[in-house]
Amino acid sequence: MSAAIITAPAADGRLGLRDHLRHISALARRNALQIKQNPEAMFDVVLMPVIFTLMFVYVFGGAMFPGHRDDYVNYLVPGLMAMTGLNIAMAVGSGVNEDFSKGVMDRFRTLPIARSSVLIAKIVVEVGRMLVAVAIQIGMGLALGLDIKTSVVELLAAVGLSVLFGASLMWIFVLLGLTAKSAQAVQGMGMLIMIPLQFASSIFAPTKSMPGWLRAFTDYNPLANLADAARGLINGGAVAHSVWMTLAWSVGLTVVVAPLAVAKFRQRA
């Protein structure tokens, strides 16, 4: 552990913002070094975007847009950008749970650091992994015929929205990781969250053929709103409603779940 973390608390037992940031930076370095020492930890980030893009384009593209598979690439890739954050978020919860089972958190408990810095540093590194995954996702899309019909600024806005919402989802899975008894339990509960959000959405197909009750669900499904926002920012079209809904979901989840996760961490640690 970097010596930057070993900082005596203030006289009243509280840590200032500067100390918080230093702790987060040192812990983030520790998490990044773990990835460097175990490159296999990046396999999901590197391979999943490639596999998902190829699989859905060539399995469903011809059926969804007969004779116009390139059009499906422009429909699908923004949706997969939305899904990437959810997949990485589930890995965060499993990682937090495994850190407890390996006794890593016992070491952190002996240090004069803010408990929240441990979780924030974890999310900072996972956001970095997510940026890599989204970049590969876009690269695969471009290789298969993705046409950016707007501008680089709007493309970056789509990436930013995806990362922001993915970070808010990570807090949910961190809370699951702190609550569940094992990493397998985190994955099981994560699948119960992932499947309805992914498939009852506009990620893979337009929602107009869905029954009314299911379309009503997709109207408020945050992944559907993010997919529509990213699609509009890349392909052009109205995006205000979807962007504001995505921002509202991102801020709301973070404001509600992050304090619960930190409180649970303090209780458990």
DSSP result, 81-125:
HHHHHHHHHHHHHHHHHHHHHTTHHHHHHTSS--HHHHHHHHHHH
The pLDDT score that the predictor gives to residue 186 is 86
pLDDT by residue, tens only, the chain of 269 residues: 444 444 444 433 466 777 778 888 888 888 888 788 877 778 888 898 999 999 999 888 878 877 777 889 999 999 999 888 888 888 888 888 887 777 776 677 667 677 788 889 889 999 999 999 999 999 999 999 899 999 999 999 999 999 999 999 999 999 998 888 888 888 888 888 888 888 889 899 888 888 988 888 988 899 999 999 999 999 998 899 999 999 999 999 999 999 999 888 888 75
Q: What is the pLDDT of residue 138?
A: 95
Nearest to 86 by CA among 47, 130, 125: 130
**Pairwise CA distance, residues 57 & 6, whole Å:** 51
Alpha helices in 200-238, H assignment, sequence order: 212-220, 222-235
Query: Model's pTM, two decimal places?
Result: 0.86
pLDDT at 183: 82
- Looking at residue 269, its pLDDT comes to 57
Q: Which residue has the tokens 């913002």?
A: 17
Q: Give, in order, the Cα–Cα distances in Å from 152 to each of 47, 82, 166.
A: 25, 18, 21
